[in-house]
Structure 1
Amino acid sequence: MRRLLYTLIALAALLVLAALGLVALNLRGEDPLPETPAAFTSTPALVERGRYLALAGNCAGCHTARGGAPYAGGIGIATPFGTVFASNLTPHEEAGIGRWSPAHFWRALHNGRSKDGRLLYPAFPYPSFTHITREDSDAIYAYLRTVPAAATPNAPHRLRFPYDTQAALAVWRALFFTPGTFTPDASKTAEWNRGAYLVEGLGHCIACHGTRNVLGATEEKLGLGGGLIPVENWYAPSLSSKHEAGVSDWDTQHVVALLKTGTSPRGSVMGPMADVVYGSTQHLSDADLQAMAVFLKQLPESSPKRDASASPARRDAGVMARGAKIYDQQCAYCHGDAGQGAQGAYPPLAGNRAVLMDSPANLVQVLRHGGFLPATAGNPRPYGMPPFGHVLDDDGIATVLTYIRGAWGNDAPAVSRAQILRPS
């Protein structure tokens, strides 16, 4: 009995130490809030700066529901663990952040903690926003104080157990989150550092273009190496590989054009990135877009996932013949008999790196649901691709994509029916 008692005491002590360690890890980098909030003085210039920064961070993309009041929240963000609902950021005192101080707002961005001390879910990308400066946080706060107050209540998250508990979130944060600051690289130019700040912090590009582990945390060591966006089944291609979406060999002006208009001589955007261009990057200054382009062009090149020197893939002649027939009936009118496309209207499919990527996920999405460029000031009436999900079944989609990825000199792996059902 005595040995059992000692064992229980030791286990209890270990549990207490583990709990204390968990609390300490979740409080690292966090300054205590002042007992009496300091007076906050806003100016029109600060508000305008905050409006611009909110656009750069694409805050409305999650916090403004279609047809709803600006920044009133309500959008459900689907995750593998359930649905997280974006909160109300208007100055409404009950439903919004009207009773928040600038310090509360800064703590949410920097530490991922709400006004009442609750830990926030990383669907709100505070692992990136932690790099935002206090000055920029205060500017965004000043701007949000000026938007019309909306009484839209915050919807409760719908997450499965145990992901709906603060304890599970504390463990996740202890493992995967450390508050940080943006530290300029003295060996780089001011322009490069500005681009790094926008891409890695405010723009939170890694939230889509990063690889995630089984618990939903981005693999920081892999950087912007690409990854499948959970639930949405769009693949955000690697920004560090010229075989996917890397721009190291692009002219800077073409990178700027892509971010500003959604299209350039070297490529165009669809899917979630079209939403980013529409709601965020098209509104940025040319100087900031130039800085982002400079940073992206200098990302270290990652190795291609496939060996370009490997022998051409073997293809089933019957599948290729059936795919050619579908292509002739459904695709050739716009994309050309030889996949050459039409300049300024329909992209070429021959040699198109979006076609040749290992993952066919985006091709499946575009073929099934259609694909549309964003309407921007520089490209107000973009061409789009209609959906074919009502015309082609899963086998038909797999067959025509296999043909496209193996015709006209293309040499990408065939697409299976299993990949249509579960893109990879």
Structure 2
Amino acid sequence: MRKLRWWLLLVVVLAALLLGWILLGGRGSTPTSPSASKVTAATLQDPGLIAKGTYLTLVGDCAGCHTTQGGARFAGGRSLATPFGNIPVPNITPDRETGLGDWSFEDFWQALHAGKGRHGELLYPAFSYTSYTKVNHDDALAIFAYLQSLPPIHQPATAPSLAFPYSVRKSLAAWRALYFREGEFKPDPAQSPQWNRGAYLVQGLGHCNECHAARDSLGGTAGDQHLTGGQIPMQNWYAPDLSTQRNGGLQGWGEQDIVDLLKTGQSAKGVAFGPMAGVIASSTQHMTNDDLHAVAAYLHSLPPRAPTVPDTQLFNAKAIVQQGGKVYTRHCAECHGKNGEGVAGVYPPLDGNSSVTEPSGINATRMILLGGFAPVTAANPRPYSMPPFAQQLSDSEVSAVASYIRRAWTNQASVVRPEDVSQYRHTPID
């Protein structure tokens, strides 16, 4: 009965929001780019434009979503799991029946900039138009030219499998009224060209906030949640806060540390695992040094964060951390060092490691249970991986050692409870 009341309340709220959106003029036509209708076939075949688009699709990691494992690049064929159901990823090769072959640049611009399909239908925000709306006209044109230059692949998409009311596409109007603000990136004249380039990449094509910010029960991100960290839905990884200032997730990271991680998959401060490893392997390692330094400069400008108070009152934190120290000495210190310092270029440090100290404890717990694999990059073609300990350690031992590394040395994060470890051990987490 409680669940039924919750659904009824949600439907009423969505209906009210939809009505308000309509009354406020939400059915107005979508502004198109001034020169969208002037794009010719010759323009789309320009080699320089296609080369630019090739680079930009790498920066945006478009193939990361639009390619199924073992399938043709950009041909779709997979579904994205969300808390509301599965959403198929479309084919964006120029196949006329199943891809973008009959799309004009105006159609593409409308999807990227306004989150609307070729026929005006509202797109599900699994396609990150909440970020892509900031991509400028020239870059969007280059991306479209590149996609149109690809060989067409015939691969139809399946229908979405979503629970009511999310299966009603028109209900997205209410969601958009709450969470979507259409508009290209506007440079800040008070900032340097490098800062503006970094802000443009992070906020727009890089769509970093789509993972690195918390989402509410409707799958939206509050406007003031910018790169403040959050659990990635359905993946059980925590994407850390990206501020390098006081209490930030990357506190103490220098600009070169950020560049190194994005270029090679590892830095003096840590190594990328999980979803970020895939992003680095398929996207950021291919970025120019100028763009990487621009991203780092922008992240370095993010403000300090409010301090968090670790929750250690629910059980005896001191005892569990002491037990964890013994487990760490037996299984971990040989690689990561007695003081969590790691081995430069080989094993990541744990002291001050943002993946270790992130608020939820998910990352440290799953790494201990399942191990991890750093990305293979041109600059680091044979990275070291971490072995799994799920078969060697009990829930209480994993809880203890995870709590220890989160509270030892200079780390001051919360402890991890054994029941949390049990949940991650017995629940699929990819």
**TM-score (normalizing by structure 2):** 0.86
Q: Does 1:174 align with 2:177?
A: yes
**Code of the aligned partner of 1:56:** V
Cα separation, 2, equivalents of 1:332 and 1:32: 57
Taking the TM superposition and a 5 Å limit, the aligned residue runs for 1:317-328 are: 318-328=319-329
245-254 or 333-342, which deviates more: 245-254
- Shift in Å at residue 37 of structure 1? 7.7
Say if 1:421 and 1:87 are closer, same or farther in 2 by CA, change over 3 A.
farther
CA contact (8 A) 2:246 2:305 kept: no
Cα separation, 1, equivalents of 2:380 and 2:33: 48
18-27 or 138-147, which deviates more: 18-27
Taking the TM superposition and a 5 Å limit, the aligned residue runs for 1:147-296 are: 147-240=150-243, 242=245, 246=249, 249-296=252-299
CA contact (8 A) 2:76 2:155 kept: yes
Cα separation, 2, equivalents of 1:351 and 1:48: 40
Cα separation, 2, equivalents of 1:247 and 1:148: 41
- Shift in Å at residue 225 of structure 1? 0.7
1:78 aligned counterpart, secondary structure: strand
- Shift in Å at residue 35 of structure 1? 12
52-61 or 38-47, which deviates more: 38-47
Say if 1:378 and 1:245 are closer, same or farther in 2 by CA, change over 3 A.
farther
1:77 aligned counterpart, secondary structure: strand
Cα separation, 2, equivalents of 1:334 and 1:68: 37
Q: Deviations over 1:35-60 (max 9, x none)?
A: 98853343000000001010010000
- Shift in Å at residue 405 of structure 1? 2.7
Q: Does 1:137 align with 2:117?
A: no
1:83 aligned counterpart, secondary structure: strand
CA contact (8 A) 2:88 2:158 kept: yes
Q: Deviations over 1:211-257 (max 9, x none)?
A: 21211111221211111111111111111254676557543333211
Q: Could you say which residue in structure 1 is the equivalent of 2:389?
A: 388
Structure 1 moving runs of 4+ over 6 Å: 32-37, 310-314
Cα separation, 2, equivalents of 1:289 and 1:350: 25
Q: Could you say which residue in structure 2 is the equivalent of 1:110?
A: 113
Cα separation, 1, equivalents of 2:250 and 2:56: 25
Say if 1:345 and 1:22 are closer, same or farther in 2 by CA, change over 3 A.
farther
Q: Which has the larger radius of gyration?
A: 1
2:25 aligned counterpart, secondary structure: helix
Cα separation, 2, equivalents of 1:299 and 1:28: 35
Q: Could you say which residue in structure 2 is the equivalent of 1:80?
A: 83
Cα RMSD (Å): 2.9
- Shift in Å at residue 330 of structure 1? 2.7
**Code of the aligned partner of 1:139:** A
- Shift in Å at residue 116 of structure 1? 2.1
Q: Could you say which residue in structure 1 is the equivalent of 2:348?
A: 347
User: What stretches of structure 2 of length at least 5 have no aligned partner?
Assistant: 1-14, 425-430
178-187 or 344-353, which deviates more: 344-353
- Shift in Å at residue 74 of structure 1? 1.8
CA contact (8 A) 1:226 1:237 kept: yes
Q: Could you say which residue in structure 1 is the equivalent of 2:12?
A: none
CA contact (8 A) 1:88 1:97 kept: yes
Cα separation, 1, equivalents of 2:84 and 2:314: 37
Q: Percent identity?
A: 44
Cα separation, 2, equivalents of 1:202 and 1:409: 35
**TM-score (normalizing by structure 1):** 0.87
**Code of the aligned partner of 1:175:** L
User: What stretches of structure 1 of length at least 5 have no aligned partner?
Assistant: 1-13
Cα separation, 2, equivalents of 1:312 and 1:336: 29
Cα separation, 2, equivalents of 1:90 and 1:244: 44
Say if 1:304 and 1:165 are closer, same or farther in 2 by CA, change over 3 A.
same
- Shift in Å at residue 109 of structure 1? 0.2
- Shift in Å at residue 351 of structure 1? 4.3
1:84 aligned counterpart, secondary structure: strand
Say if 1:18 and 1:209 are closer, same or farther in 2 by CA, change over 3 A.
same
**Code of the aligned partner of 1:381:** R
CA contact (8 A) 2:244 2:299 kept: no
